[in-house]
Amino acid sequence: MNSEKIIIRFTENSDAEKLAEYVANIFKENLDTIFKRNAKPTVEEQKAFIERMSTAENSFLLIAEYEHQIVGMLDFHVFKVPQKAHGGSFGMSVLKDFRGMGIGKELLKHMIAVLQNAGKIQRIELQVFSNNANAIKLYESLGFEHEGRQRRAVQINNEFYDILFMAKFLKAF
C-alpha cells in the first residue's frame, strides 16, 4: 500500500454507506483500546451523524480514504457549555491493516490545521485508555500534554485500566 494515496477530507452525505461499513469493521475488531458501541450502524444513522457534524458550529468529521475505502476517521466536537466553548474533544480510529502508516498522525495534523485556521478553538482535549501506548506516543509527539488520570476507569477482560486525559493548546492565553 502506498501511503501517498491516502486522502484526508471532510465527509460528505454520499459517504454514509462507506462510513457505516468502516464503523462496523472497527467494532468487529473488538479492540481493547476503545469503548464498545453499536457494531452494526445503519446507513441512515451514519447519514444523520454526517449531517449533525456538518451543521454543528466548529465540529467536523474527517475521513482517511484509500482507493475509495474509508480506512480512518476523526470526529471533533466543540463543547456546548459556554464556559468551555473555546475547546473541544475528538475521537479517532484507523483500520487494523492501515495502522502504523502515519494515517492517525495525518488526521490529527489536519484537525489541528483546520482548528488553527478557524481561530475559534484554543484547547483540544482527548481521553485515551492507558493500554493504548501507540496512541499516547502519537499524541505526545504532536504536543498533547498529560493533564490527569482516572484510575481503574475501564475494565477489559477482568483487568482494569486508567483513562488518561490529555490536551493541546492552539493559542497562548
CA nearest 145: which of 118, 121, 124, 131?
124
Grid coordinates of 134? 501507540
Mean pLDDT estimate for the chain = 91
Q: List CB contacts of 97: < 8 A, sequence separation 6 or more.
A: 71
Which tens digit of pLDDT belongs to each residue from 9-39?
Answer: 999 999 999 999 999 888 887 666 665 665 6
Query: What are 52-89's pLDDT values in tens digits?
Result: 999 988 899 999 999 999 999 999 999 999 999 999 99
Q: Does 1 have pLDDT greater than 60?
A: no
- Assign 146 a pLDDT band (cuts: 50, 70, 90): very high
Question: What value does the mean pLDDT take over residues 80-101?
Answer: 95
Amino acid at 146: H
> Is the pLDDT reported for residue 173 higher than 60?
no
Grade residue 3 by pLDDT with cuts at 50, 70 and 90: low
DSSP summary character for residue 68 = T
* Distance from C-alpha of 91 to C-alpha of 104, rounded to nearest angstrom: 11
What percent of the chain lies above the pLDDT cut of 90? 79
**Please, what is the angle between helix 103-118 and helix 133-141, to 10°?**
40
pLDDT tier at 171, thresholds 50, 70, 90: confident
Q: Is the pLDDT of residue 105 over 90?
A: yes
